[in-house]
Structure 1
């Protein structure tokens, strides 16, 4: 038996529970550890850079092989010419500081000076050629990367878009595709620096072996600092990926035409702008922290690098003072040291840029390989127009959902039949229609076409046998003809006009300035903007046009007027003669045309039968039917009420 004390204790514990925090608009990142693959160490960078250069050259090779060959040949020739120039420098200095009359010394130096001038001129021409080739390759590489990313996206399962991680991977891969064009430029610059180092280092080592390792030690601290800074920049960008996407979403709601009227009439501008500023402030905080941390690394690298550089020049002076190096050799060493030092700094700088670009590009590579972890992995069998589409003990759960959207659903629809799916919002009707068309793969159970599991069928071939009118249909920025044919014409314009007439879209097309050739796009793209109802007629015409065996119509007349709606449903029986039709709608009067009706409630089938059967028996269908036909609502006020009011 419960006492008063027990009750008060329980109520007190309930009041002590913290109230749930309001949820905030924010894209969720996948629960995974990033950056572990790319630890920043000197050795990891040394290993990564050749791989990245190779990757850049392979991308370039796929785009234009001749350009890659020319690029490599020019780099090699430039390195050889630089070595000749340094050797000629020693000869020039030796001739100029030798004993004898100045004219004789100048004459002796002329051949070496000629070599220097010729090498410099040739290297300048090669440099122009290298820049020209890399500039032509860069945009082509980026476009190729974008095409591969788009190809990977369309080969991902539709369910991928329900995973927050997929959105993040797409965003990161998109950035990787954008920087892909930098790969060839940065690789070319890195190769140029390496070629200069090889040429100058060979000469410098001949002059005295101790100079080169000392110079490497001098440049190494700045290199490490630059790598650390690149890593911090990359990590901060990845950390803010979700915030940037949220800002992009808010920008759309604030500025887009679709929401402009509601933004003004509801006076939401200041509220949304405030949210935008708050999220932007979070991005600024993380960015500032990354900049300050990178600056600290750069300061440490510059300080230690300066001390090491002083040691190099001190060693050169000591070698000259002790007679271990001649004046001519010392002069050449100065030029070589400057060349190697500049090139090493270039390797560090360009290598750091390439390393950072590679981090972003890795995201692109991962997306291409696995389509963000959701690449389709189905069978390769093909099928024709189905006679029977069946769901058997079908269960489907969305990612991170608390409960299945569908559970143990069994039904079938045959060619020549119309199956109607009925239920309240959230009952699973649209999800079921996507499973029947193979857009989703069941979590449990099976969807079969003529007894064959959809997982064993080639999905793209399967979809050639489907026609879908979704609730939210695409407004493709294409001419009216291609908006109906979807770029897959058959039967000529006669077939297009027949589909348009069945859907009522012929009235829309007839009023367009150029008929089927009219561009349907927003005004600033030079097109014609249609109303919601006009677009819905076009969307229905698409489905009627496709020579498909399974037709799914999900709320197909939600934006249509009564006349247009009547046209669709009076002609749907003819459409169903050689197709299996699945109709999803809330307007129960329209499902009278169906051969079978399945009533869903919270993902389960609770009723099934014909229209007459379901209207006559107690249950959800009858309840919804009565509500839709209930006219017991307040009517218009009488004249006497208006006067007294």
Structure 2
């Protein structure tokens, strides 16, 4: 059953709301506006600066290397060694450049010059070759480590998400934290790449600075003079493009949603029959136009910043060449040293630009990585933290004064003061209209939800469910929810779900399936129990709605046969024909001993098999008794029973009288 809790729309004044007079959008219309959780727009806009990046980069580099270390220690060590060696050979190449130029520019025969330059040329050539090999090694090692980091991050995130209380999904903040953490996990492969690029740029910068300091100390300040304008521009343009990206995040997400709704198989028939394509494409184009407007504006602003930086860099280059000419003309350095200084300054400028550009990207990733690690620590603030008592099959479940309200300022309580005792071996039918609180009640009984503070008590054999070990409690529960899962697994796996203790599960799977008729469904499949139930995949098959429901009930019967604790079936025969329904209900009665069984059904005739019927209305138990007792007294059960028995329909339209054909 789907119990939908809705909040009434706000009204501008008393009286019913009127439909809009025009279909044209206005400024008050609500459109898809997706705020990417955790993007911290205002904070990012103010904090992306050279100073903040410099302070934060060491921490982010340590975090990236820690992730890489956990994913693949050997490759991480080799990657760092390759980066360091590449920097060393880069410095050797710069020094060798000085020796080569000095030998070539010296007066004398060319042959003598080449002979003198040979050692430096050998070092230069060898360094270049080794750097090329190391570059290949770095790319290979990065390609090996990055996907491993991503897999580790994904698995840790999934584990953390599944470690949260079910009630977390009713909290809007949980979804936001999950989305932010998921985005953080998706950045982890790029995190290593950016970290590696920052390290490589830093190594190049240090090598160039060492060479310049050796040639002449006065050349070292030109590292900043030639690189600062470009570096500042890189930070500014990074901020511009980043803010443009998150500003258009609403529209980009809307485009993905529109696209998915138009191409998804589940709605493909309605896209065609309702002729919705032109209308939805118009919304798509408008969202795309808003993205283009923002990105074009950001592009123009970034181009202006880059132009100013280019002018500053040109001025710095002019000063640099002027200083070099002065040092050469004054005899402070030779022509060879000046040539080497030119190469070193260019290398340094490239290193600064790489550090700033990749540092800005690394800094942005770090914001989402913070959300990822926070979620891992807290599971979105809802990590399961219960008691340690391991329960057995419950002999008695007692519910006292149970009240439950979903989050939301205008929500009415889903349950109000429920009192009920359930005993082992008993079958209890839970009856009620849609939205009466049945699903919420069953989730609380099975420990998926915990009673809220001052919201009453649920105990298994006298122990509050909050004091029980969560996994041990769940092992005692077998459920068939109304919206049951259709797992993309083999037919047999859809029944046992890996829940067996090393023995061959086939006999137990077959026994559970025989109780529901699922074995007959499987017998018609091409590969029997090994058939993949995933249409659209190679070899995959699809079942009818009734076939899937038989499989879901078989899954619960398999589970409860192993640990007969609490069996809950929520509309387990809604998609079945009378023969299959009869078979499952008789099996349910036979399984009753040794467990507590709860059956939710809108077919009141099915409730006859129950030892007791509990009628729920607006979150309260309004009636309880046997089927015969409730059927012969006034109340909601009798009212629903009478409505279900009333099969009168409007009379058919009278047929026109037939007139005899004229003869003669």
Same topology, TM > 0.5: yes
Alpha-carbon separation, structure 2, partners of 1:404 and 1:32: 34
1:9 aligned partner? none
Are residue 579 (structure 1) and residue 595 (structure 2) matched?
yes
- Higher percent of residues as helix: 1
Cα drift, residue 108 of structure 1 = 2.0
1:431 aligned partner? 440
CA gap 1:189/1:30 in 2 versus in 1, 3 angstroms: closer
Are residue 114 (structure 1) and residue 122 (structure 2) matched?
yes
1:228-307 mapped onto 2 (5 Å cutoff): 228-241=236-249, 243-307=251-315
CA gap 1:463/1:280 in 2 versus in 1, 3 angstroms: farther
Aligned with residue 586 of structure 2, among 570, 574, 580:
570
Alpha-carbon separation, structure 1, partners of 2:293 and 2:640: 53
**The 10-residue stretch of structure 1 (408-417 or 373-382) with the greater mean CA deviation from structure 2:** 373-382
CA gap 1:294/1:464 in 2 versus in 1, 3 angstroms: farther
Aligned with residue 465 of structure 1, among 458, 476, 486:
476
Are residue 56 (structure 1) and residue 67 (structure 2) matched?
no
Deviations 1:120-179 (Å, cap 9, x if unpaired)?
A: 222222222111111111222222221112111111222222333333333333333233
Alpha-carbon separation, structure 1, partners of 2:120 and 2:590: 92
1:326 aligned partner? 334
1:6 aligned partner? none
Cα drift, residue 354 of structure 1 = 2.4
Cα drift, residue 425 of structure 1 = 1.1
Alpha-carbon separation, structure 1, partners of 2:657 and 2:283: 47
Cα drift, residue 27 of structure 1 = 5.3
Alpha-carbon separation, structure 1, partners of 2:601 and 2:208: 77
The answer on whether the counterparts of 1:168 and 1:242 sit within 8 Å (CA) in structure 2 is no
Cα drift, residue 304 of structure 1 = 3.3
**The 10-residue stretch of structure 1 (571-580 or 309-318) with the greater mean CA deviation from structure 2:** 309-318
The answer on whether the counterparts of 1:441 and 1:455 sit within 8 Å (CA) in structure 2 is yes
Aligned with residue 130 of structure 1, among 131, 135, 138:
138
1:505 aligned partner? 518
Q: SS of 1:352's equivalent?
A: helix
Alpha-carbon separation, structure 2, partners of 1:157 and 1:305: 56
The answer on whether the counterparts of 2:430 and 2:616 sit within 8 Å (CA) in structure 1 is yes
1:104 aligned partner? 112
Greater RCO, 1 or 2 (C-alpha within 8 Å, sep 6+): 2
Alpha-carbon separation, structure 2, partners of 1:234 and 1:170: 21
Alpha-carbon separation, structure 2, partners of 1:15 and 1:453: 47
Cα drift, residue 528 of structure 1 = 0.8
Cα drift, residue 441 of structure 1 = 2.2
Number of positions where the alignment pairs a residue of Structure 1 with one of Structure 2: 633
> Where does the alignment leave 5 or more consecutive residues of structure 2 unmatched?
1-11, 21-27, 660-664
Are residue 561 (structure 1) and residue 577 (structure 2) matched?
yes
The answer on whether the counterparts of 1:171 and 1:241 sit within 8 Å (CA) in structure 2 is no
Are residue 529 (structure 1) and residue 523 (structure 2) matched?
no
CA gap 1:574/1:150 in 2 versus in 1, 3 angstroms: same
The answer on whether the counterparts of 1:162 and 1:398 sit within 8 Å (CA) in structure 2 is yes
Alpha-carbon separation, structure 1, partners of 2:209 and 2:179: 43
> Where does the alignment leave 5 or more consecutive residues of structure 1 unmatched?
1-11
Alpha-carbon separation, structure 2, partners of 1:597 and 1:32: 51
Alpha-carbon separation, structure 1, partners of 2:219 and 2:619: 77
The answer on whether the counterparts of 1:536 and 1:557 sit within 8 Å (CA) in structure 2 is yes
Q: SS of 2:436's equivalent?
A: coil
Are residue 90 (structure 1) and residue 98 (structure 2) matched?
yes
Alpha-carbon separation, structure 2, partners of 1:303 and 1:408: 75
The answer on whether the counterparts of 1:437 and 1:463 sit within 8 Å (CA) in structure 2 is yes
Cα drift, residue 23 of structure 1 = 5.2
1:5 aligned partner? none
Are residue 602 (structure 1) and residue 618 (structure 2) matched?
yes
Cα drift, residue 186 of structure 1 = 2.0
Q: SS of 2:614's equivalent?
A: strand
CA gap 1:145/1:555 in 2 versus in 1, 3 angstroms: same
Deviations 1:18-40 (Å, cap 9, x if unpaired)?
A: 99966555557669965537821
The answer on whether the counterparts of 1:599 and 1:608 sit within 8 Å (CA) in structure 2 is yes
1:472-551 mapped onto 2 (5 Å cutoff): 472-489=483-500, 492-546=505-559, 547-548=562-563, 549-551=565-567
2:628 aligned partner? 612
The answer on whether the counterparts of 2:38 and 2:180 sit within 8 Å (CA) in structure 1 is no
The answer on whether the counterparts of 2:396 and 2:421 sit within 8 Å (CA) in structure 1 is yes
Aligned with residue 227 of structure 1, among 206, 231, 235:
235
CA gap 1:312/1:437 in 2 versus in 1, 3 angstroms: farther
Deviations 1:77-115 (Å, cap 9, x if unpaired)?
A: 222222222222222222222333333333222222222
CA gap 1:332/1:269 in 2 versus in 1, 3 angstroms: closer
Task: Report the TM-score, using the length of structure 1 for normalisation.
Answer: 0.90
Q: SS of 1:372's equivalent?
A: coil
CA gap 1:133/1:31 in 2 versus in 1, 3 angstroms: closer
CA gap 1:14/1:388 in 2 versus in 1, 3 angstroms: closer
Alpha-carbon separation, structure 2, partners of 1:299 and 1:427: 66
1:8 aligned partner? none
The answer on whether the counterparts of 1:406 and 1:603 sit within 8 Å (CA) in structure 2 is yes
Alpha-carbon separation, structure 2, partners of 1:85 and 1:33: 44
The answer on whether the counterparts of 1:448 and 1:454 sit within 8 Å (CA) in structure 2 is yes
Q: SS of 2:187's equivalent?
A: helix
Are residue 213 (structure 1) and residue 212 (structure 2) matched?
no
The answer on whether the counterparts of 1:536 and 1:556 sit within 8 Å (CA) in structure 2 is yes
1:407-418 mapped onto 2 (5 Å cutoff): 407-418=416-427
Deviations 1:250-276 (Å, cap 9, x if unpaired)?
A: 434322222222333333333343444
1:15-164 mapped onto 2 (5 Å cutoff): 24=31, 36=43, 39-164=47-172
Are residue 397 (structure 1) and residue 413 (structure 2) matched?
no
Cα drift, residue 232 of structure 1 = 4.3
The answer on whether the counterparts of 2:35 and 2:249 sit within 8 Å (CA) in structure 1 is no
CA gap 1:228/1:381 in 2 versus in 1, 3 angstroms: farther
2:191 aligned partner? 183
1:337-416 mapped onto 2 (5 Å cutoff): 337-400=345-408, 401-416=410-425
The answer on whether the counterparts of 1:503 and 1:567 sit within 8 Å (CA) in structure 2 is yes
Alpha-carbon separation, structure 2, partners of 1:136 and 1:30: 30
CA gap 1:602/1:350 in 2 versus in 1, 3 angstroms: same
